[in-house]
Amino acid sequence: MAENIANEKIMARNKKAYHDYFVDEEYEAGIELRGTEVKSIRAGRVNLKDSYVSLKSGEAVLLGVHISPYEQGSIWNLDPERPRRLLMHRREINRLIGLTQQQGYTLIPLKVYFKNQYIKVSIGLCRGKKNYDKRDAMAKRDAQRRMDRALKNYR
């Protein structure tokens, strides 16, 4: 499940985010974890579907991420969907607060990955897609697939 890209080992992707949103900007943030959550992420047992980032009182909080309890853990396993604080610079958080107050912007986690020995979360500043945008994206993808298939058969 994990992909390696230049010192990055991707543990989870939020494919639905790219389907439902236009991603305008991406930010990298650390994540505050406790107990056996790191071992569970290392095993690839993290789900980003239906998760988002909330900005409250100058802090970025990751909500809705499901990190399954570590199987060999005992009483130290925590609630799988508890809110987790994101570690970002103050000026980045203040900028994001200003941008998300504009109409239509939201913060969505795009992927969880290891960068060297640290766990990072890629956060996208996103605008929602309408249904016709989704249909247009699917049509372009299908057309590209057909062209690639035709070129492959031509060679």
List, in order of start, the domains of the chain with CATH numbers.
Answer: 3-128 (2.40.280.10)
Relative to beta strand 59-63, strand 52-56 is antiparallel
pLDDT of residue 63: 94
Angstrom CA distances, 103 to 42, 126, 136, 139, 140, stand at 37, 11, 23, 28, 28
Could you tell me the two tokens for 40?
A: 């569970």
Whole-angstrom Cα distance, residue 134 to residue 146?
18
The burial of 37, by beta-carbon neighbours within 10 Å (0-12 exposed, 13-18 middle, 19 or more buried), is given as buried
pLDDT tens per residue, range 3-61: 666 678 899 999 888 888 889 999 999 999 988 888 889 988 999 998 999 998 889 99
Q: What share of the chain is helix, strand, coil (3-state, %, to 5)?
A: 30, 40, 30
| pLDDT at 1 exceeding the cut of 70 | no
pLDDT tens per residue, range 61-107: 999 999 988 888 777 677 888 999 999 999 999 999 988 887 778 99
pLDDT of residue 111: 94
